[in-house]
Amino acid sequence: MGSSLAVRSRGTTKYFGDVVALDGVDLDIPRGEVHGLVGPNGAGKTTFLGLLLGLSVADRGGLEILGAPVDRVLGVPEGVGGFVDGPGLYPTLTARQNLVALARLRGHGTEGGADVDHTLEQVGLLDVADDRVRGFSLGMRQRLGLAAALLTQPRLLVLDEPSNGLDPAAKRQVHRVLADLAAQGAAVVISSHQMDDLAALCSAVTLLAQGRIVFSGSVAKLAAESGRLDYRVLTSDADTTRRVIAGHPGLELVPDRTRLRLGEDAVVARGPVSAVDDLVVRLVGAGVAVRELGPVVPPLEAAFLALTGADDVLASQGAAR
């Protein structure tokens, strides 16, 4: 079983003094998968990524990377590349010089010039290959960090917030690179707070809260965990819409429009997808035109809030106001 897995974690626990950063994490990540690691700040995401990159070691439990047990010594495991807390780059060197320096450090000498240019082209930085990194934007530094990781031809790529600072075109390019790498059999593990990235890129996600896994599975399964969602409904007749929602056994009319900044004619209905589908049928039957219908909070984000308890915190804060 180990040969098909890029990561196998059993009871992985990590302490920082009296703080339990990871608490008995059990997780399998197969090769050829883009796996998202999500959770609130302080949930343990960066700590787990650091273990995968050999930046720290677990205090308890077992961790296997690419089929090999991880010793309790610091060091990047063979076949692993990536970064946490932003890539480490030399600001006074050019993009090309940074990658050439990395190639030399890893014993490739100067023969990796063609690989360097190809990697820069992959991430869309070939045109600025001879510009100094200190003038790069955040998004450009993120892409150069990805290039540095790709240069190692990783079988496990670990990235912390890889979409930070990326414009839509650059984000699409990075997504394509990561998807291609997974298609070639590598595992890609990314940490992100951007739910649209997870929906577009990941086939599976693991949600951490207070160092423990509260969900692990497919993106579709996580979205389904959201259950009853709030939907913004904009129609030609707000009063009739409210009456139809109030009379529907599967729906609840959400009264707090001020907090949601919905506008005067918008109405919020809470319920499952099946009930919202039936609402559209009833509105049309009542002669009401439906102009706009969509979740107030995307399903993945709603599931995230519900599973981590953040939804209850926000609700209590709203009630206090």
| Residue 53: pLDDT band with limits 50, 70, 90 | very high
pLDDT cut 70: percent of the chain above it: 89
Mean pLDDT of 36-61: 93
pLDDT of 222 reads 82
Helix axes 113-122, 138-150, angle to 10 degrees: 130
Distant-in-sequence, close-in-space partners of 7: CB < 8 Å, separation ≥ 6? 27, 28, 29, 52, 63, 64, 65, 156, 187, 189
Contact 288, 242 (CB under 8 A): no
**All domains of the chain in start order, with CATH:** 2-219 (3.40.50.300), 225-320 (3.30.70.250)
Mean pLDDT of 101-115: 69
pLDDT of 313 reads 43
pLDDT score of 320 more than 60 = no
pLDDT score of 276 more than 90 = yes
* CA 72, chain centre distance (Å): 28
Mean pLDDT of the chain: 87
Q: Which of 2-6, 66-70, 258-262 has the lowest mean pLDDT?
A: 258-262
| Residue 109: pLDDT band with limits 50, 70, 90 | low
Distant-in-sequence, close-in-space partners of 288: CB < 8 Å, separation ≥ 6? 235, 236, 237, 240, 241, 244
pLDDT of 94 reads 96
Question: Considering the entire predicted model, what is its pTM?
Answer: 0.81
